[in-house]
């Protein structure tokens, strides 16, 4: 359900990884100073059904554990 995208304007749910996308040109020290860590993700929630979004995120997190 979530698409990986830098642009966060639309009706679909999106996820962005700021340290490697929107702020990758910033020095690591600056990223850390302004609170952007490698574990930070930004979610823009769209108009999909909440249960679908929760299930999709749970599935992705389960895969990340493996």
Q: How many domains does the chain have?
A: 1
Residues 3-15: tens digit of each pLDDT: 878 765 678 888 8
Q: In what order do the strands lie in the sheet with 3-4?
A: 3-4, 14-16, 42-44
For residue 36, give its domain range: 3-65
Residue 42: half-sphere exposure toward Cβ, Cα within 13 Å: 17
Q: Rounded to 5 degrees, what are φ and ψ at 63? A: -65, -35
For residue 27, give the CATH number of its domain: 3.90.1150.10
| Pair of tokens at residue 64 | 């990340």
- What is the rounded CA–CA span in Å between residue 51 and residue 59? 12
Pairing, β 42-44 against β 14-16: antiparallel
How does pLDDT run across 6-54, given as a tens digit for each residue?
Answer: 765 678 888 899 999 999 999 999 999 999 999 999 998 889 999 999 9
Question: What's the pTM?
Answer: 0.75
């Amino acid at each position: 359900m979530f698409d990986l995208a830098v642009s966060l304007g639309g009706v679909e749910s999106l996820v962005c990884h700021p340290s490697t996308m929107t702020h990758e040109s910033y020095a690591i020290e600056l990223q850390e100073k302004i609170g952007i860590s490698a574990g930070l993700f930004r979610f823009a929630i769209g108009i999909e059904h909440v249960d679908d979004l929760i299930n999709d995120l749970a599935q992705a997190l389960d895969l990340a554990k493996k």
